[in-house]
Chains A and B, each alone.
Chain A
Amino acid sequence: EPEVTQTPSHQVTQMGQEVILRCVPISNHLYFYWYRQILGQKVEFLVSFYNNEISEKSEIFDDQFSVERPDGSNFTLKIRSTKLEDSAMYFCATRQGNYGYTFGSGTRLTVV
């Protein structure tokens, strides 16, 4: 079964540092998303990406965040100047058509 692959599985970073979270979507999926889930809380939408541009973004997705698809396969989320409150599980998800999303296994980001 096709998978969404995320790396790294766990990232520890110092406050103020930049991190890049990587995702390899399912090859024929056209819609890409980043969600995050703070421990014990709801899954929260960050951004959607379609046709090589951002389709929608939430209030969380401010200037600290950016996404890109640098090489036509990887889909990355960059978080600049990380804060303690950025600690969360970050999930990449993709979808084809109007079906439910397929989620990657997530990256646990810990900011210390």
Chain B
Amino acid sequence: QKEVEQNSGPLSVPEGAIASLNCTYSDRVSQSFFWYRQYSGKSPELIMSIYSNGDKEDGRFTAQLNKASQYVSLLIRDSQPSDSATYLCAVTPEDSNYQLIWGAGTKLIIKP
């Protein structure tokens, strides 16, 4: 059974600080990794994708992938109250080019 695990939180971070979100996955040969943001009652919104080991930066967001340790993380710099949401980690298994396996999400609260 392929699994994606996330700490459900809530993770509370002061405004302007760095928020660090983590995700582990069980399928050693997973290929593609995604971070989505989901506001309550809304659909997931893609923030970052990462496919190879290392860091990938996009504005205030940095995704980090370590395939040997089977984890992927998301850093949010200069956190804003509008970043308060549930952050979902999703992984494409090696034996599937089509579906995503989802974590349950981490609820992030940015305190002004």
Which chain A residues border B45 with CB–CB below 8 Å?
103
- Number of A-B pairs whose CB atoms are under 8 Å? 49
Which chain A residues border B84 with CB–CB below 8 Å?
none
Give Cα A35 to B45, complex, Å: 14
Give Cα A102 to B45, complex, Å: 7
Interface window among B20-28, B53-61, B65-73, B96-104: B96-104
Give Cα A104 to B104, complex, Å: 19
A103 and B32 contact, Cβ closer than 8 Å, known pairs A45-B101, A50-B98? no
Provide the main secondary structure of the chain A interface: strand
Considering only CB atoms and an 8 Å cut-off, how many residues of chain B contact the other chain?
21
Chain A nearest Cβ from B13, distance in angstroms: 23
Q: A45-B99, A91-B43 are in contact. List 12 more A-B contacts (CB 8 A).
A: A42-B104, A43-B102, A44-B102, A45-B101, A48-B98, A48-B99, A56-B96, A89-B43, A98-B32, A101-B34, A104-B43, A105-B43
* Interface of A toward B, CB cutoff 8 Å: 31, 33, 35, 41-45, 48, 50, 55-56, 58, 89, 91, 98-106
